[in-house]
Structure 1
């Protein structure tokens, strides 16, 4: 039963992406990517390649480990429940989120100064997938997809706070190294794609008898014939005794 329902390709795609992240982290660790190489550098042409490479790069072990689990879970949910558009959502979400991060100027929210930053990590992908899965279920208003929405909200609902600068919630001795721009971009792109793709995929089947004004003379005739031919199936039903008007003719005349 579980084998028939589980999409093993969903597990495969999720595992491939996470494995690629760890490979990128290993190559980064041995010196293939140093400094800002492979990172998104906002408004800098040199940083455009980071749109594709930065999700594979991470600052430390805690950083990549913290992204690996949600990336695996969310990609699995995407391909399990949205196989008809999963590849488009993953690719477009990846590229559009990275490009939007590149477009956003890294300005200090307190002094307005322009900061030169190098943005790495897969948190943008986490946000785009989480927000897509949540809002897609709402926009489609389908029980199955709404269940996925509730699941995402239950485990990843706290992500909403990440779309704002960390400095707004706590006093930090130095500027936060968390890229709220990536989180905000991923959330915006995820919601936008959930709305655009809300009608994609299989349509909900509504049978003719589900319509409120449905009536079929043929069906009604078959039902009446069945009742006449199989009276034993209806013996225990509380039927009203059939009234013979001719037997009550004198009574009816008196009441006129």
Structure 2
């Protein structure tokens, strides 16, 4: 049974859902991240014409990147050919970073997936490698999510430009939660010259309020709400 699309939430309200899940329900972030990444994998499988699509996942260092690393695992299980573009040559150790994002990076690394430190590449080289890794398939934007409140700064700006340039060579782009550089509350890019143009966005918990704005679809593509397992009462409590 397909769940109805919930009413839109602001970015702050979505963060409050995560907080309520942990503090009032004892539902940790690792569980929410696992559910989010599995839901993204199911969505991408449904959007793909190929049973084993080529997928290039461009990750950041925060939780949005953690979603990307976990997504790599779920897509690989489903038979996709995944190439990870990570923000470091090796994930931090558990002693240095015990959080769920780094945990999923370590798991993905131990799986032996193709791994490129995108921060070591210039924009042109990153564009070429993304286009090759995602030929006929998908590029996943898992760089920043709802974190920023302004346009992407270096080196994220080069990654955004490379994703958009590689997309023009035939791959489609899936944004995880929010296209990087897009103001999910205001409904427009912080800087139109530095915002991922997604063919689809897998957003979590509920649509963001800005996704209904005129002109927003040219950046978000079709928006799909991914259930992360948050109790309905937790979501209602933040409205």
Q: Give TM class, smaller chain.
A: under 0.3
TM-score, structure 1 normalization: 0.23
More helix by share: 1
Q: Which structure's residues are more often strand, by fraction?
A: 2
TM-score when normalising by structure 2: 0.24
| RCO comparison, higher one (Cα < 8 Å, 6+) | 2
